[in-house]
Amino acid sequence: MRIGGILDISTIDFPGKLCSVVFLTGCPFRCPYCHNHQLINSEGNRVSPKDIASELSKNYLIDGVCITGGEPTMQSDLPDLVKEIKNLGLCVKVDTNGYYPENLEFLLDYVDYVAVDFKTSPQKYGDLTGREDAWTKVRRSLEILGFSGVEWEIRTTVVPGIVWKDEVYKIHSAIEDLGLKPSRIVLQQFNNENPLKQSLRSINPPSKQEILELAKMFGNRSGIYVRCSEGEFEV
């Protein structure tokens, strides 16, 4: 499989776990604010799932592995990697943009946690991602997760002027309309250091207080979090 690298230790990428992070390459989306865009078209290094698991087995500090990207579910041997990691006795979390619902559904018998990006309002999904069929596929992934029994979360990156008040309101409305009950909904701060669209570097990231204000749109629903440079906070 195509791998971009491994982060040995993370305390923020897998709720309740000390984990390693495996970065896989390739992504069908072209979100302008993407901060991992070096992975989008990269071939990365060709490494077998067994060899990746062997490397992870040397880390005695972790109790989980987060597989992220890029978009992990576009790689056909992702299930093999997940199984190899599970054989080590480690929990597995997968981050996904939801564009490959059939691949995601196949994984759900093996993973412990899924984080799915809810990029923007349904009406703007095609424009933001560069894929006209994006919302149809992401909605299907959300529905699959909703009935899966697997612990999961929704993440939205808040970008002033792009994914902002109107978009967050419509995201909340879509979550309600679909009857979704994720364990967590995370509003995370846009990082302007090196976005795919370089002109976005001039946009200041929203403050913690601004994101907290947006989080109020979700009412008294539990499990709402704000993630920013100051840390992660439950609302």
Give me the domains of the chain, ranges plus CATH numbers: 2-234 (3.20.20.70)
Peptide bond into 26 cis (omega under 30): no
Q: Is the pLDDT of residue 69 over 90?
A: yes
188-232 pLDDT per residue, tens = 999 999 999 999 999 999 999 999 999 999 988 999 999 999 999
**Which H/E stretch holds residue 192?**
none
pLDDT of res. 50 = 98
* Average confidence (pLDDT) over 108-113: 97
46 neighbors 76 (Cβ within 8 angstroms): no
Beta strand segments in 108-207, E: 113-117, 151-158, 184-189
* Burial state string for 44-53 with b = 16 or more CB within 10 A and e = fewer than 16: beebebeebb
Tokens coding 30:
């072209």
pLDDT of res. 42 = 87
What is the rounded CA–CA span in Å between residue 195 and residue 192? 6
pLDDT of res. 190 = 98
**Max CA pair span of the chain:** 46
Residues in CB range of 220: below 8 A, 6 or more apart: none
* Burial state string for 172-192 with b = 16 or more CB within 10 A and e = fewer than 16: bebbeeeebebebbbbbbbbb
